[in-house]
Chains A and B, each alone.
Chain A
Amino acid sequence: EAGVVQSPRYKIIEKKQPVAFWCNPISGHNTLYWYLQNLGQGPELLIRYENEEAVDDSQLPKDRFSAERLKGVDSTLKIQPAELGDSAVYLCASSSGRGKAFFGQGTRLTVV
């Protein structure tokens, strides 16, 4: 069974440019999470989907971040415009229930 797939693995962009990350969850997993992880810190939740509904986006900086999960499967996280402080690893995870989540490889974003 394929795991959570994210792309790209690495991205370097100039500040003020837009960037998008893509996530394909494990088949059959209704719950999808986007986390942000800074060096030396634990993952911080940005948004959680149950099927196609965003049920928790309280930590998503909505002035520059947006996310969507069309048809309750793949998801895209977008930043526009990117700031230097957005440099981090963006992790996608999926779960079939009880919070037991499995992570993708992550996207390392560097904003210069």
Chain B
Amino acid sequence: QKEVEQNSGPLSVPEGAIASLNCTYSDRGSQSFFWYRQYSGKSPELIMSIYSNGDKEDGRFTAQLNKASQYVSLLIRDSQPSDSATYLCAVNTYNQGGKLIFGQGTELSVKP
């Protein structure tokens, strides 16, 4: 089992729709969770961080965390073509001394 798992996609949604990206993690002691956006040929850009159970909203982005299910998700409302990118889930693992581990990324394509 990978430490951080994401559906590799590609996920295709029409413009204006809600895109839902999912991530599961194996270390139950993990404490910090992040979503990064990576455009082709660019480096990852931090877009959301979440530390406690529940939802956290920032503009069109909502991160959701469920520690009991070891699950974190990212919702993008009113998706735009400019949201087309790879989204990386990252988990700061407590039981490995604070190692920041990334999933393989989910490619999102928003069609006009």
Contacts and interface: CB of A to CB of B under 8 A. Distances in A.
Interface of A: 33, 35, 40-45, 48, 55-56, 89, 91, 93, 95, 98-106
A31 to B, nearest CB: 8
Interface of B is mostly: strand
B103 A42 contact: yes
Given A41-B105, A42-B88, A43-B88, A103 B100 contact: no
Contact of B49 (A48, A100, A106): A100
Interface residues of B, number: 25
B97 A98 contact: no
Contacts of A93: 100
Contacts of B51: 98
B31 to A, nearest CB: 8
Interface of B: 4, 31-32, 34, 36, 42-46, 49, 51, 88, 90, 92, 96-105
A98 B36 CA distance: 15
Contact of B44 (A40, A43, A44, A55): A43
